[in-house]
Amino acid sequence: MKNIIINENQRGFLFKNGKFVKLLGAGKYRIFGNREIEVVSLDAPLFSAKCSLDLLCANEEIAKQVSVVEVADQQIALHFVNGKFFSALLRGKYAFWTVTDRHEYKIADVSTPEVGEDIPDYIMGKLPSGMYMRVDVAQYQRARLYFNQKLVRILEPGTYYFWRNNIRVEAGMVDTRLTQLNITGQEIMTQDKVAVRINFVCNYRITDYVKILTEIDDYLEQMHVAAQLALREYVGRYKLDEILAAKEELAQYVLGRLKAKEKEFFVEITDAGVKDIILPGEIRAIMNTVLVAEKQAQANVIARREEVASTRSLLNTAKLMEENKTLYKLKELEYVEKICENVGNINLNGNGNVLTQLLGLFGKSVEDKAG
């Protein structure tokens, strides 16, 4: 004989000769002979190591105390306990005790990758990552959605979830922001046979996210080639000096040629410009020499102009001083003041110091001229 105690949060399955007899509630039981009691927890799914789930659920007493759900192929069941998400159930039959908890289920069809709108994002985040695929589309992006390499639709910015099944899901991201394309020029011959290299830049944004992939092969390379051809066509018509003097006209010409191909490339080209015009070394040396000579000539002209202006100013001052004795006297006093500032006080033998004698001399000179 053996004593078995079943607690309040437990149930027992009574077996006789290996055959299920009945469900036992909480209490103390004595078993002997060919009888056995299997004790199970009410917190765990209904399960017995000695009896099948179908046989247990067929028992009327057990059926009253459990909740049963069957999940078919290409389905999952979202399991909620007391109103809170608990787990996801895959294909199979499940039974849960309802003695202490309330169990609810939401069946989701996973035969197609699309996740229904009735399934909140927070639940997807609680599922094992192997059950779904997450796609994040940034604010500056659009995504081409493919099922088994077939375009389904364009995804706007946001977060999307797709079930993992036998259908292959792909999302091709497209940047919708204004993008810069740099065209690094090869050597181009001008009309006067000077080889130059031009670095060019243009800004564009994609206008058709689907056709740019399905109807054109490598649109960036084709835009690059189109810009290079336009540069060659323009540069070959003009001499080097004309090109250097009209870089804006060059940019507008290439921009016009590119904008004419916008529909072919499925882009919108907003602007373009010349970044650099790179000259051969010997041409740069010659141009630097010419530039130095030009600047030297300009400096000489400015120096001569200043000399003429200075001479003219002196002549005008002399004429005024000759006509106005008072002005002449003031000019003398101005020079004496400057001498005093720079020389200071020097005493010599004789009447007064040098500055006093200078003032006397200047005064006498003025009186003699007045007489």
pLDDT, tens digit, 9 for 90 and up, residues 20-47 = 999 999 999 998 888 999 999 999 999 9
Is the pLDDT assigned to residue 107 strictly greater than 70?
A: yes
Read off the pLDDT of residues 132-164 as tens digits, 9 standing for 90 and up. Answer: 999 999 999 999 999 999 999 999 999 999 999
pLDDT (0 to 100) of residue 32: 86
- Crossing angle of helices 219-235 and 247-259, in 10° steps, is 140
pLDDT (0 to 100) of residue 14: 94
Residue 61, CA atoms < 13 Å, CB-side half-sphere: 10
pLDDT (0 to 100) of residue 359: 56
pLDDT (0 to 100) of residue 299: 74
Would you place residue 369 in the very low, low, confident or very high pLDDT band (cuts 50, 70, 90)?
A: very low
Is the pLDDT assigned to residue 15 strictly greater than 90?
A: yes
Is the pLDDT assigned to residue 370 strictly greater than 60?
A: no
pLDDT exceeding 90 applies to what percent of the chain? 60
Is the pLDDT assigned to residue 349 strictly greater than 80?
A: no
CA 279 vs. chain centroid, Å, equals 35
Average pLDDT, the chain: 86
Would you place residue 326 in the very low, low, confident or very high pLDDT band (cuts 50, 70, 90)?
A: confident
Helical (H) or strand (E) element with 286: helix 281-323
Helical (H) or strand (E) element with 141: strand 141-147
pLDDT (0 to 100) of residue 366: 45
pTM of the model: 0.67
DSSP state of 64: T
Read off the pLDDT of residues 175-233 as tens digits, 9 standing for 90 and up. Answer: 999 999 998 877 888 888 888 888 999 999 999 999 998 899 999 999 999 999 999 99
Do 337 and 303 touch, CB atoms closer than 8 A? no
Is the pLDDT assigned to residue 348 strictly greater than 60?
A: no
pLDDT (0 to 100) of residue 157: 95
Which range among 62-66, 250-254, 318-322, 335-339 shows the weakest confidence by mean pLDDT? 335-339
Token duo for residue 143: 């995504």
pLDDT (0 to 100) of residue 283: 63
Under the phi-then-psi rule, with left for phi > 0, alpha for psi from -120 to 50, and beta for the rest, what region is 193? Answer: left
